[in-house]
Structure 1
């Protein structure tokens, strides 16, 4: 049954109530909500649409930038509001215009001058680069140094010549001295002085999207991994094939996305990832609809369960779909990324913008969650996962609120193991 049109409604609410009120109003049948925030003097527009559109690349006309989203920078006007990919009339609070130079330096502005991403009709034009041997990237401070030594030791055991970039987030001098002597390892100090001072709160992980963006700008594709990652095998071609298929397939030849109802049914009958299901993998390669920003490790709960409501002020979503079991949350600390236009436009640009905006990534809740295991999708557990909440929400928004399209569904090549004893890296200094 089509949605009944209701007149737009306006509310002025206290800051502490706004997230919940907007959520409820948007699902009472109103097509649009105009929200005024006294504190930030900004507006957020919400609307509902029944039809599902392609979230990654759409064929649509370029439209004027809304006044509340407009930023002036260098050569023109920029739209610095995130627009929901499936419905561009829905957009969030504008990010601080002062952060545009940072995005520019990371190569993330691109089509930000326009509200829409034009559809070229040819996926090859969207495909930017994927190097034969993606660079491995990690970052850690002194309290994760033991884990870091294990990661480097295990990588070198499997890939003797693999190029690795290590970002120093606060290592001791004797630790940096060892890292700098390792073969095929590039040591870099993360430049905290170039970013707001709250970047030094390492547990908010704002540095992570910046590091991913910085290295992706240099290299066609990367693996970013936290120190808790332990590789189990050296052949990763089955992961690469999920993205590499784009080089040979045009948009028109890629599989049609099933309806939300059919995908709900698929999720119910799909078992949790275990090893490598070759039949499913073959179907995924044939379908060729995976994101080029691929997550891998399931956290055990949904996105809505562990995402602070303040995030939705910047990144509106479909609150019906985001509460379903197919909108699962995956580890942000282990990702394979190939540089494509849709990755930059729909995920990485906004991932970095959120890191720069103090309230966007910080939220108001901590890591401790309060909810029963039986409601790990539809209930907010009053907790927040910082960068992980943000990148999962962006991925879900861009890929039909369905983890099938933003995760590899392959787990035979790694484990996540937190905590480690020190591994001697001196043998790795012999090139």
Structure 2
């Protein structure tokens, strides 16, 4: 994370309940590893497609039964076009089309346009029953600073008892039950965090300037959107930066928490680089709908849908066992 973009304060909110048990909505960090891979240079989808089409040995394309369109379902290392990932299952083509994650060739505004009007921001979060109390604190803080912004809350099997507690007179608040019936059954295992990229993709179909905030994150200072916009316009308004911005670091490297199963689908020849920089968090992120954002989320969502990508065999769960440092040693966990 660019340290210059830590000018506003949003910090980890930890309740007594949270200290006692594992967080169902704790930070999941895969999106930024994918973003790192895609952002190693300005990704050109046509390049990988041309490469694959000229090599008849590779079977990386999936055809949609609905539209007849053909899509590349193999991730290609941007720094090495011969380093090609395992093909994602073609059964997800129609789902990806519905989410508008494939061949999104519409015109996109320049990244600087997303840093102009704070009223364009749509807040999005998700909660389950056991995180409702911390979500309520998080929502209260957001509303104290931004009382009229659109706020969409997704319920992860939220029961009626907690639904009845949701705001009744806030016309800019919207509750949506997360419809897992559209997706593989294992998406309902919340501790694999597959729900997060899928919800983000659903929102990006409707809104172009999204601010995701985990249920357990609490804003401490006002005008953090304006502060971020000012710094982004000053420091990262060019296409050289990833459009997706995180505001929270994990304190460990990407390498420390990666399993080979994920690298089978999303290969990289930059293992050393993965050891040298801290993994950033998806707990609070700004997501503008740009062409590069859609390219990043294509692979992020496909990994969430693929059973052995986001939860690869042998993953040690969230309890990491770090070595002498948190950068150079595998911690026997997956995030």
Normalising by structure 2, report the TM-score. Answer: 0.77
Q: Superposed, which structure 2 residues align to 1:293-372 within 5 Å?
A: 293-326=244-277, 328-345=278-295, 347-363=296-312, 364-365=314-315, 366-372=317-323
- After superposition, give the CA deviation of every residue in 1:25-49 in whole Å (9 maximum; x if it has no partner): xxxxxxxxxxxxxxxxxxxxxxxxx
CA distance in 2, matches of 1:55, 1:178: 46
Corresponding residue number in structure 1 for 2:143? 156
Corresponding residue number in structure 1 for 2:134? 147
Corresponding residue number in structure 2 for 1:91? 84
CA distance in 2, matches of 1:129, 1:195: 33
Matching residue within 31, 42, 49 for 1:56: 42
* Contact in 2 for aligned 1:70/1:77 (Cα 8 Å): yes
CA 1:306 to 1:126, structure 2 compared with 1: closer, same or farther past 3 Å?
same
- After superposition, give the CA deviation of every residue in 1:356-380 in whole Å (9 maximum; x if it has no partner): 00110012221122222x4312221
User: What's the CA shift for 1:148?
Assistant: 0.9
CA 1:204 to 1:129, structure 2 compared with 1: closer, same or farther past 3 Å?
farther
- After superposition, give the CA deviation of every residue in 1:321-369 in whole Å (9 maximum; x if it has no partner): 334322x112222111101101111x11111100100110012221122
CA distance in 1, matches of 2:199, 2:75: 21
RMSD of aligned alpha carbons = 2.5
CA distance in 2, matches of 1:148, 1:309: 34
Corresponding residue number in structure 2 for 1:172? 159
Corresponding residue number in structure 1 for 2:219? 231
User: What's the CA shift for 1:241?
Assistant: 4.3
CA distance in 1, matches of 2:308, 2:217: 29
Corresponding residue number in structure 1 for 2:196? 208
Instruction: Give ranges in structure 2 of 5+ residues lacking alignment.
Output: 1-38
CA distance in 1, matches of 2:159, 2:143: 23
Instruction: Give ranges in structure 1 of 5+ residues lacking alignment.
Output: 1-52, 113-122, 246-281, 386-431
Answer with 1 or 2: which has the greater Rg.
1
How many residues are paired up?
A: 282
CA distance in 2, matches of 1:308, 1:151: 32
Task: Please tell me whether residue 378 in structure 1 is matched to residue 322 in structure 2.
Answer: no
SS in 1 for 2:59: helix
CA distance in 2, matches of 1:110, 1:286: 25
CA distance in 1, matches of 2:231, 2:90: 36
CA distance in 1, matches of 2:108, 2:205: 19
CA distance in 1, matches of 2:164, 2:311: 33
* Contact in 2 for aligned 1:323/1:379 (Cα 8 Å): no
CA 1:199 to 1:58, structure 2 compared with 1: closer, same or farther past 3 Å?
closer
Q: Superposed, which structure 2 residues align to 1:367-406 within 5 Å?
A: 367-372=318-323, 374-385=324-335
- After superposition, give the CA deviation of every residue in 1:73-120 in whole Å (9 maximum; x if it has no partner): 1223221011122333321000000101111111100169xxxxxxxx
Normalising by structure 1, report the TM-score. Answer: 0.61
User: What's the CA shift for 1:307?
Assistant: 1.3
CA distance in 1, matches of 2:189, 2:110: 36
User: What's the CA shift for 1:179?
Assistant: 1.5
Corresponding residue number in structure 2 for 1:82? 75
Corresponding residue number in structure 2 for 1:189? 177
- After superposition, give the CA deviation of every residue in 1:372-431 in whole Å (9 maximum; x if it has no partner): 2x431222111101xxxxxxxxxxxxxxxxxxxxxxxxxxxxxxxxxxxxxxxxxxxxxx
* Contact in 2 for aligned 1:126/1:341 (Cα 8 Å): no
CA distance in 2, matches of 1:371, 1:229: 25
Structure 1 range deviating more: 202-211 or 225-234: 225-234
- After superposition, give the CA deviation of every residue in 1:169-210 in whole Å (9 maximum; x if it has no partner): 022212112215150210101001111110111111111001
User: What's the CA shift for 1:59?
Assistant: 9.8
SS in 2 for 1:224: strand
CA distance in 1, matches of 2:254, 2:92: 27
